[in-house]
Amino acid sequence: MEIINNPNKGTWSDILKRPTQTLDAIEGIVGEVFQEVISNGDAAIQKYTAKFDDVTLESALVSDTETKAAINQVSEPLKKAIIQAKENIEAFHAAQKTEPVRVETTPGVSCWQEKRPIEKVGLYIPGGTAPLFSTVLMLAIPAKLAGCKEIVLCSPPNKKGNLAPEILFTAQLCGVTKIIKVGGIQAIAGMTFGTKTIPQVYKIFGPGNQFVTVAKQLATKYGVAIDMPAGPSELLVVADDSADPAYVASDLLSQAEHGMDSQVILVSNSKALIEKVSDEIASQISVLPRKAIAEKAINNSKLIFVGDDATALEMINEYGPEHFIICTKNEGFYVSGIMNAGSVFIGNYTPESAGDYASGTNHTLPTNGFTKAYSGVNLDSFMKQMTFQKISEKGLKAIGKTIENMAEAEGLQAHKNAVSIRLKDLK
């Protein structure tokens, strides 16, 4: 990892740049796939699954027989782990339920807000080198709690044309209504437009590579909502001499192994800690099964020395990390001062892996600096907030003149008349 000492603020944007391709390099192929799916439906899905995933499927729909067989392949210890994680995630997300908000703004004018579930949602679950069954928990659990009627899951098949047994076990455990063996751009296109096999949905959730991220953004042009722009994983750790270098290195590597385009950053006011972490990374990475992937990500990553906490916090807020770990004596300063982060992990015994799997918080988070404007997935992500109002005769008399005056000032006579005709009857 590159070590940078006290970088000038004017260089921060270059130093903190993500290792992502430009949209121009990706949008062409995404648009091409979308147009073919619009024209040819399942045939286009099958074509691109063969092209990108190197497998030809007779049917992309997962059958009950496949699901039952997969469940038997998952070990009992892993089933117990998934069930415990499910319970924690359910507890945290169920606590996010809120009661309707009711206010009488003026005597006789009642306004209230209630939440309704999004009826049809699509969940994208990354596969490939690391099938993320944990993401099924993070998306299907709040979808079920919210009351979504259709929960469609898409995930890329392996070379044998199957999904990981862990994905299928978790999906049936969490109430997914349909499972499709399709990934990448074609999965997002399928859920956007609908095919004979893939239902059209109203909102698409889930992380993915840069192609999936751009595909989700393109889906919004066709009237389908998305949770957020969520691309390659990233982690920033702030640490001082109170941190354990081995712990810090393990956290950095835990995200580096996600993919070659992942990025991890350490910000510290201790040059000694930076050196120790660098040595630990070299030691720990050598025995990782995904060493080659982690090494590529580490090449995108940095160890940054800064002189004080205030500068460090300013830099961190400028970067806006997906995951943010705080391992400093002055942790309260960072906890109260962080404005732009997807999920925050505090203390030497709070690894980012806890949030990825089982503590209860959601791991589907904005990346690439979108934490400045987006939240991570939560229960409300699967719901719409609707407002209601009921006005009595007394209420309309109280605010009628106000409405008339405002409508007339805007030159909208029909708006005024809709009130005036009622007020005449109430005299």
Per-residue pLDDT tens digits for 15-35: 999 886 566 778 999 999 999
CATH topology of domain 2-20+232-360: Rossmann fold (3.40.50)
Looking at residue 300, its pLDDT comes to: 85
Shortest CA distance to 231 belongs to which of 2, 69, 423, 26? 26
Are the folds of 2-20+232-360 and 392-425 the same?
no
Count of positions (residues) in the chain: 427
Q: Which two tokens stand for residue 38?
A: 């619009």
**Contact call for residues 153 and 171 (beta carbons, < 8 A):** yes
Shortest CA distance to 152 belongs to which of 162, 163, 161, 139? 139
Looking at residue 229, its pLDDT comes to: 80
Instruction: Answer yes or no: 323 catalytic.
Output: yes
Per the DSSP assignment, residues forming a β-bridge with 180 are 61, 154
Q: Name the strands in the sheet holding 109-117, side by side, starting at the edge strand that comes first in the sequence.
A: 101-106, 109-117, 383-391
Reported as type and span, the H/E element at residue 123 is strand 120-124
Please give the annotated binding residues, written as ranges.
124, 186, 209, 233, 255, 258, 323, 356, 410, 415
Q: Which two tokens stand for residue 417?
A: 């008349």
Instruction: Answer yes or no: 150 catalytic.
Output: no
Distance CA 399, CA 419 (A): 10
Task: Report the amino acid identity of residue 37.
Answer: V
**Contact call for residues 1 and 236 (beta carbons, < 8 A):** no
Please give the annotated binding residues for Zn(2+), written as ranges.
255, 258, 356, 415
The DSSP letter of residue 272 is H
CATH topology of domain 23-99+117-227: Rossmann fold (3.40.50)
Annotated catalytic residue within 280, 323, 352, 363: 323
Domain spanning 392-425: CATH 1.20.5.1300? yes
Looking at residue 407, its pLDDT comes to: 98
First to last CA, the chain: 79
Looking at residue 353, its pLDDT comes to: 97
The low-confidence residues of the chain, meaning pLDDT below 70, are 20-23, 128-129
Shortest CA distance to 233 belongs to which of 290, 280, 273, 159? 290
What is the CB neighbour count within 10 angstroms for residue 186? 28
Return the domain boundaries, the chain: 2-20+232-360, 23-99+117-227, 392-425
Looking at residue 19, its pLDDT comes to: 81
Looking at residue 131, its pLDDT comes to: 81
Distance CA 168, CA 70 (A): 6
90: left (phi over 0), alpha (psi -120 to 50) or beta: alpha
**Contact call for residues 281 and 301 (beta carbons, < 8 A):** no
pLDDT tens string 330-387: 999 999 999 999 999 999 999 999 999 999 999 999 999 999 999 999 999 999 999 9
pTM: 0.93
Shortest CA distance to 266 belongs to which of 299, 235, 309? 235
Annotated catalytic residue within 166, 280, 322, 352: 322
Please give the annotated binding residues for NAD(+), written as ranges.
124, 186, 209
Looking at residue 129, its pLDDT comes to: 67
